[in-house]
Amino acid sequence: MKAIWNNTVIAESNNTVVIEGNHYFPHESIKSVYFKPSNTNTICPWKGTASYYTINVNGKENPDAAWFYSEVSELAKGIKNRVAFWRGVTIEE
């Protein structure tokens, strides 16, 4: 699977986990040059607290377009430290 934004592959892996329609990529599969930590956090009642990245590709910024859970509930242990995307990031095979 590939995560693509602004015509650029920003993550690629054959090992994604799909939960609630979102592909969670292994953290090591993201191209870190495009990711900047954000101060944003949200809480999911069954997964835990999400942290976010802002994506920056070729001078264009997509705030909080990627998220991950560094600490998860027992129910969500399969996505610990995996990264998912939204806000215009497309996922393709």
Q: State residue 51's pLDDT score.
A: 97
Q: What is the pLDDT of residue 49?
A: 94
Backbone phi and psi for residue 86, each to the nearest 5 degrees, phi listed first:
-160, -160
pTM of the model: 0.94
CA–CA separation, 63 and 47 (whole Å): 22
54-64 pLDDT per residue, tens: 999 999 999 99
Q: What is the pLDDT of residues 27-52, one digit of tens each?
A: 999 999 999 999 999 999 999 999 99
Average predicted confidence (pLDDT) for the chain: 96
Percent of the chain with pLDDT over 90: 94
